[in-house]
Structure 1
């Protein structure tokens, strides 16, 4: 130990004075602070846990008392009143004959007694006398519109609610769908009811008269604790002595009655108690309270992580305050270095982005010292680079557009179009119909070429241009080939495309395919929509092309040597008539110019 301390002392002595002072201050503060924090956490956690358990027990006891008050005031008290309603005695003793009038007479009794005996009307918003069962086996269902009597009697007998005993103890049955009425509710808490039954006897003579049956909407029980929260995800539910669900704060679990079986067994075994229970590795604090009136068990179920989560939050605040004092001296020294390093890292990151091709990035360095000035110089440099690139792009595009305009303007299209129209009429007058047809097609060709100076035309116009060109070539080749146009969807005709795309390709098919073939040629144009893209496919059954020549053409089409196209000393009328590669490259370049490099 002495050797370790000696080595530690020598290491510290080698440090600068500033570093030694920092280490001395940190050690003198952290050791006592950690001891204080440990003691504080242990005491605070124990006290707050006990307080949370006590508060939750009081809450569950209050819920149980609320339910007892509901049962006592709305069911037991009203049941006692109904016991003394002598107006009902005759109805309960009645033995209706099995004839066609039985149902009508029973309904008359239900309506008559229902209006004259106030206790038979709704006791509260969710509690009512569902039915009365007479000593002679007659059922009077006051839950209108009533369900079929046979079904109601069957369910009551299965439950054991129609025992003919002078036992005035109320019997309770767990939450279930209301089978007394055919009326359904969209609210599950109003659809589910708890059923209570109690014998009716004459208080004076003790004569057994029948059974009174109540329905209590689960909503009434839920309202006793609906405004109570046990943490963020805690649950409250009520079960009877058999473990059946009476009420639940979670509607889905009420509907499925899916309370953990082992948990229910522990609750029934332990009675009023506080214990811990684990479900799927999640620990819960369970607090139970048994009702004095109904013997129902009210259960509070709180996730322990939420209990200790609140405690841990408070402890964290304490630790945060204590550590704040510890870290102030350290942070104040780090800030200066950080203020120097941070802008350098920011500038380094921006330079790396520029190296990877991102010329739109900028750095924002506050202040008026050397690094901030460097950042502003860096931003101005990128602005200049972007401006030069943009100017070069505009310049190149203007050159390409000028070339295209010169190429398209070499022939006066208006003059030729008007002259061809005159030829058409002269030929028709002389009955030279082939000449007329050829001149008319050539006129269409030039008319579409003009297109009011528009570079973008409808697909329909572009196809008309190709058809006109095909008609002229058919006359030239003596109908030595057929033309097929395949359009999968007519709506593509109203889409737009570049003018003069297809005619050069069709010309290549004739010149290098059909013309060198011995069989009758076929040229096919297929127009397909693929998502948000339009595909034109031009094919023929001509002589074909060698693999070497095909590679050569592809290489010339996709070559990036734009300067060669622009600067070479070749007249434009020669530049675009040097074979299929030049024409296809022209089409490729025009498409990319107007629609982007991905096409």
Structure 2
């Protein structure tokens, strides 16, 4: 993407920018409208459904409380108290009399609350129930799960939707099991009230008539109404879903499953076993009307981009006309036409750039002349400075060698070395010239090596090889070879007593336009491609960088010096020097003309 953008012209980038900015502005506006509308619709839907679910939970609570109060009134009636006294004494002789006496009370309970499907009072002396219902005698209450839970919890128990196993008909009921002992503290006396699931469903439907997504569950996630489902698709709530109901008594949250995202409203009931009534509505359905805004936004984006593409081309051409004219002038300058000038009647930014362009051309013409005169003078000065920097270094090491001879008592050798050093310096001064012929540079290094041989007797020998004698007349920067020979002696041969060899080889290179110089020794060598910086060594302040800089100035381009070395195999320094005659190179020392290097 980045490379594609770089390949575009400025006109195309402006064109694309118009389209992107327009599309982005319309898209952001549409997205913001869609997002705000979605949040408002979702918030209103949740609030409306929460009010409905709260009202439904309240109605359901009141209905269940009414049934509980009816059971309490039954427990306080005289026929029920008479039955408890017989149960306490274990007297079953009045069973039928007590059963007959309870019939009006049981019928009255069913008449007052038609949600009650059946009532069973189970005692050790027998079961009491409305005689209008047929009891399934083979199913004893003590064998049911209801009895086991009531016995274990020792309190009233609400049983979720199940099939009635105590009476014929086997309807789906919700059962309330109440301790029926009253103040007598009897064991195994229970009142079982079966409530019709169908009537509870109808009650909830009447309150949430517009929804088919309500559920009534207990704290374990089981469906209280008994149809076996507590989530869309007959799923079962997991622990993370149920934990959301524990945060507040009532509220709402978003729930996602494999079928989509749902808006959930819930309200807890006071009755039941921590029962929760909740309602789920598909978020997609709720926001269906808002989708129209999204499609309208997409159509607007497409139309706006198309309009911008049609209009931006002409606008871009108009804006870029002065810039194209300036571009044409710059192309002429590329072909060394410095006499062109930009002219415009406008005073905009492009015109200001054009005026600066005109001033720049004037300055360039002046600077070209200044650079032309000053560049060569600068090169000549740098060569002199670098040569002056090299000489004190060489003098220090040579005088140190003569000093060593004097200390050893070799006065004749010291005198001879002093005479050789005088000849060497006479050649080195070279009438102030910083560029010597190769012949003089080789003579110079011979004097130096002769001096060092007299200091380090039998330690090394040297060999100078020139492939073509005509090369001796070509120029070379002064003190180019001597530091390389010095390095071989001081570092390569410092740990040997004899057998050292320094070889200096010179040959033509690259179509006879340059000569290649090689200085190598068979000394100790070193690890790595470059010498280690050590005080006083080849790479310690003057060294290779000094030689490299002087060669760069001499050749007129970046110089390459190749240094190779291996421990125990010696060192090899190799570089190229452009072929220039000594006389033409040193003309600048006698006149103010430019030096040709």
TM-score, length of structure 2 as denominator length: 0.41
Q: Which has a greater percent of helix?
A: 1
> TM-score, normalization: structure 1?
0.41
Which of 1 and 2 has higher RCO (CA within 8 Å, sep 6+)? 2
